[in-house]
């Protein structure tokens, strides 16, 4: 499996000649080095409805005839844009053929700001446990710290976990360290930081603190990629 980080919370998994991308936010992220038209994917997974997680879902979906997978309400909204969608809910698993995605809790908010100044409810925020090639990849979505992270870690062998460290809108580094312990992932990659002034963080310092606790971490710059095998 190849894992590509496109900045902010956007992660792409490539396996068996197929691809899925999570929370595409490229045009609005000045740190991103990838454009929406550069992304090839069969599926687009969305953790919640905020602009910095769904901005490029529509152009990528239309260019690739990709299916958008999200909580039921958000999937319904995307279907109104003429996109192929698959709505699901907490605890459910969707089989994409080359990978399976289980939707798990995240503690955050989720809404969509319409151009006419209205805000609509976008369903509950979520994270995903993605299984492929005998590996389990965790994308927590935007979240604060919550104790069921420990249960998720106990019930799953997580190979790579993408965890937000930005603070302000999600948990910060201190809570992310606790989350990393509870999830028990073999490798932790910090996300959702440095894209905007309120979420500036020192990712290298976070990794040093993580490794001081006996856990492995990796800082990824936008555009970085690596391969992992079971």
pTM exceeds cut of 0.85: yes
d(CA 219, CA 10): 14
User: Tens-digit pLDDT profile for the chain (230 aa)?
Assistant: 999 999 999 999 999 999 999 999 999 999 999 999 999 999 999 999 999 999 999 999 999 999 999 999 999 999 999 999 999 999 999 999 999 999 999 999 999 999 888 999 999 999 999 999 999 999 999 999 999 999 999 999 999 999 999 999 999 999 999 999 999 999 999 999 999 999 999 999 999 999 999 999 999 999 999 999 99
d(CA 177, CA 215): 10
Tokens 């038209």 correspond to 37
Query: How big is the CA angle at 88 (ends 22 and 4), to the nearest 5 degrees?
Result: 10
Structural domains of the chain, with CATH: 2-221 (3.60.15.10)
Instruction: For the chain, give the number of residues.
Output: 230
d(CA 158, CA 138): 7
Six-digit token string for 134 = 């005998």
- CA dihedral of 55, 198, 126, 32, whole degrees rounded to 10: 40
User: Are 32 and 44 a contacting pair, CB within 8 Å?
Assistant: no
């Amino acid at each position: 499996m190849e894992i590509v980080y496109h900045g902010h919370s956007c992660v792409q998994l490539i396996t068996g000649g197929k691809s899925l991308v999570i929370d595409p936010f490229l045009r609005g992220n000045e740190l991103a080095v990838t454009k929406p038209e550069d992304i090839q994917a069969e599926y687009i997974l969305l953790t919640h409805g905020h602009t910095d997680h769904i901005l490029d879902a529509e152009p990528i979906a239309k260019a690739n005839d990709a299916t958008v997978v999200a909580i039921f309400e958000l999937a319904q909204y995307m279907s109104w844009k003429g996109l192929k969608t698959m709505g699901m809910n907490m605890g459910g698993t969707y089989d994409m053929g080359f990978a399976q995605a289980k939707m798990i809790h995240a503690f955050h908010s989720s809404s969509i700001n319409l151009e006419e100044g209205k805000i609509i409810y976008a369903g509950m925020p979520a994270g995903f446990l993605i299984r492929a090639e005998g590996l389990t990849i965790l994308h927590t979505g935007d979240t604060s710290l919550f104790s069921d992270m420990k249960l998720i870690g106990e019930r799953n062998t997580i190979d790579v976990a993408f965890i937000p460290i930005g603070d302000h809108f999600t948990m910060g580094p201190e809570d992310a360290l606790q989350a990393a312990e509870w999830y028990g992932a073999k490798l932790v990659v910090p996300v959702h930081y440095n894209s905007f002034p309120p979420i500036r963080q020192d990712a290298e310092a976070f990794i040093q603190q993580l490794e001081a606790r006996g856990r492995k971490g990796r800082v990824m710059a936008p555009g970085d990629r690596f391969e992992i095998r079971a």
